[in-house]
Amino acid sequence: MLSYQGLEPELQRAFRLPSLLASQSFTSWLLAALLDIAPADADDAVEQLVDLQLLEVFGEDETGEIRYRYHDLVQLFAREQSSLTDSAADRSAALERGLGALLGVAKRALFEMSPHSKRDPDPPRALVWPLPADLLDRLTASPYDWFSAEYSSLVAGISQAYEAGLWECTWELADSMHYFFRVRARLQDWRATHELALEAARRAGNRRGKGWTLRNLGNAYRDLGQLDQAADCFARCLDTFRQLGNSLGQAAALNNLGELAMDRGQLNEADADFQRCIVAWAEVGDLVGVAYVTNHLGWVNLQMGNLAAAESYFENALAKFRDLADLWGEAHTFRCLGIVARERAQPEQAEELLTRSEQLFAEFGDMAGRAWVRTDMAWTRLTQQRPDAAIQLLNSAISDFRELHERHGESTALMIMADVYRTQRQTDAAITILEEVIRAFQARGDALDEGISRCLLGESYLQAGQAELARATLDEALVMLRRVGASAWVSRAEEATHA
């Protein structure tokens, strides 16, 4: 390639080294890290390469940065030249600097997404290639935009770090993405990257890294509905941090074990876990942890039918989230307060609160959060005798849950759809759906939702004139609902048995 042969050596190097990256496109600041030069010099180099048509402009990303790429054949040529010209050590060092630049920005962006969360004080062991402060500030001014812009580079970079034996970089880069993975429901990538990260932490002999990766991987399994795998991760995480004497890690693991009990409908166990956890978060000074556990305690009381206590916890949590400027936390709490209003037969207030929740989830690009709100809104529509509106909302939510592979949300929305069909005396359709979701909740180990579904199924059997089957199903529901402590649903099931 004649245009390459005529370049000065440093410009030839600027052409070669980006070919080491697995990502489709890159920025000039990442080129600066690969070359170990100032970002301004990298800007000059990339402009010359574009003028020579050795690189092309890919477009402007969400942060306003220009992204560049090779044509496919040109990239193959660049890789070939790098293998002929650059030593293995030089190529490895360049890759480590590039991944180190991504890691440095990712850590800062993670901090900006939740600035009040407590972080483990131990410094990173992986190389972090530093960017100028003004550039770092600009890139992370909107952290969600930065993670969106660099998403494919980051996910590919985790795999590249692992393949290169950069064990500390692998788990630290994965760790920096866990919050974004959760908010944007990138569950498959979350699990895959953290399974690599866990092995990388093990190979590095980094027990602290192992502990935090177990926590993050457990959350990925939890959101995927793989609760047994999540439980194993959280138990191992707690054991690891106890051995290390890491109080922050222990508080995090206790929090996750409480959430898991909550997911399984084990309300009394969840309440006990959260009561211990809120003390642990306070002792390490994590105000964000205290706020979320306060909201969790409200949710447990809501499921138990203790509306006054639930509302008190939610109002307390909302005040804490506002003090922390944690809008994602506010979104969750507005949703919970909307459900309280619905349970109190205040549909207009419920709709207002749920609408506010969905608006906040939309600002974060949280597709799962919005689908959950639409599911709650559908049940509110049903109480307003608006079944068609409820079905429309549920179909929309189910579509999103399926796209996200969110089986729990899908099953919950189907359960509510069955209740809509029951109220419209479409009994056969209701029974078919409820029999399906009961199997899903059983597989998940979710005793609360299984009990609720059995209550609804018993009511549907009554409506179909199958009194004996209805009685047996309602008895099964009562056993489950009494065990988990869901008093409001116990009352409903008892009422149905006497109908």
Q: Which of 107, 6, 102 is nearest to 54 (CA)?
A: 6
With pLDDT > 70 as the criterion, what percentage of the chain qualifies?
A: 100
Residue 403: which of 92, 84, 170, 188 has the closest Cα?
A: 188
pLDDT digits (tens, 9 = 90+) for 106-132: 999 999 999 989 888 888 999 999 999
Asked whether residue 401 carries a pLDDT value surpassing 70, the answer given is yes
Q: What is the pLDDT of residue 120?
A: 83
Distance in angstroms (rounded) separating the CA atoms of residues 450 and 447: 5
Distance CA 281, CA 277 (A): 6
SS3 288: helix
Average pLDDT over residues 193-218: 98
Q: Of 149, 184, 157, which Cα lies nearest the Cα of 64?
A: 149
Between strands 66-69 and 26-27, the pairing is antiparallel
DSSP at 141: S
Name the residue among 300, 259, 314, 250 with its Cα closest to residue 280.
250
Predicted pLDDT at 3: 82
What would the pLDDT profile of 41-76 be if each residue is shown by its tens digit? 999 999 999 999 999 999 999 999 999 999 989 999
The helix (H) or strand (E) run that includes residue 23 is none
Both tokens assigned to 479 = 């056993």
d(CA 50, CA 462) in angstroms, rounded, equals: 73
Token pair 């964000």 is at which residue? 288
Residue 214: how many CA atoms within 13 Å on its side-chain side?
24
367-383 helix and 347-363 helix, angle to the nearest 10 degrees: 170
Backbone angles phi, psi at 464, to 5 degrees: -85, 0
Asked if residue 272 has pLDDT above 90, the reply is yes
Number of Cβ within a 10 Å radius of residue 391: 18
Contact (Cβ atoms closer than 8 angstroms) between residue 62 and residue 149: yes
Q: Are 121 and 35 within 8 A, CB to CB?
A: no
- Over residues 196-213, mean pLDDT: 98
Q: Are 241 and 260 in contact (CB under 8 A)?
A: no
In order of 194, 395, 396, 434, 458, the CA distances from 430 in angstroms are 39, 15, 19, 6, 11
Strand partners, 368: none
Collect all residues with Cβ–Cβ distance below 8 Å to 351 and sequence separation of at least 6. 338, 377, 380
**The residue to which tokens 């509302």 are assigned:** 311
Question: Looking at residues 2-23, what average pLDDT do you find?
Answer: 93
* 339 close to 330: Cβ distance less than 8 angstroms: no
Instruction: Report pLDDT for 123.
Output: 87
The count of residues in the chain is 499
- The answer to whether residue 1 scores a pLDDT higher than 70 is no
* Residue 239, pLDDT score: 98
Is the pLDDT at 364 greater than 80, yes or no?
yes
Tokens of 234: 């959280």
Helix (H) or strand (E) run with residue 457 in it: helix 447-463
**Which pLDDT band, with edges at 50, 70 and 90, does 443 fall under?**
very high
Question: Is 241 buried (19+), middle (13-18) or exposed (0-12) by CB count in 10 A?
Answer: buried
Distances (CA, A) of 374 to 42, 320, 365: 47, 25, 15
Residue 30 tokens read as: 């990442």
Strand partners, 56: 69
H-only helix segments in 114-186: 133-139, 143-149, 151-163, 167-176, 178-183
pLDDT at 173: 98
Coil, helix or strand for 379?
helix
| Residue in the block written with tokens 């149905």 | 496
For 206, the 3-state DSSP assignment is coil
Q: Are 17 and 34 in contact (CB under 8 A)?
A: yes
- What is the reported pTM? 0.93
Express each pLDDT in 306-337 by its tens digit. Answer: 999 999 999 999 999 999 999 999 999 999 99
Residue 280: predicted pLDDT: 96
Chain-centroid distance, C-alpha 47: 38
Q: Domains in the chain, start-ordered, CATH in brackets?
A: 2-87 (1.10.10.10), 286-365 (1.25.40.10)
- At 220, the pLDDT band (50, 70, 90 cuts) reads very high
Over 80: is that where the pLDDT of 2 sits?
no
Residue 253 has pLDDT above 90, yes or no: yes
3-state percent breakdown (helix, strand, coil) of the chain, nearest 5: 80, 0, 20
If you compute the radius of gyration of the chain from its CA atoms, what whole number of angstroms results?
26
pLDDT at site 118:
86
Q: What is the C-alpha separation between 281 and 294, in angstroms, rounded? A: 11
Q: How many CB atoms lie within 10 A of CB 352?
A: 15
Give, for 493, the enclosing helix (H) or strand (E). helix 487-497
Mean pLDDT of the chain: 96
Question: What angle (nearest 5°) sits at the alpha carbon of residue 338, between those of residues 334 and 344?
Answer: 145
Q: Is residue 413 pLDDT above 80, yes or no?
A: yes
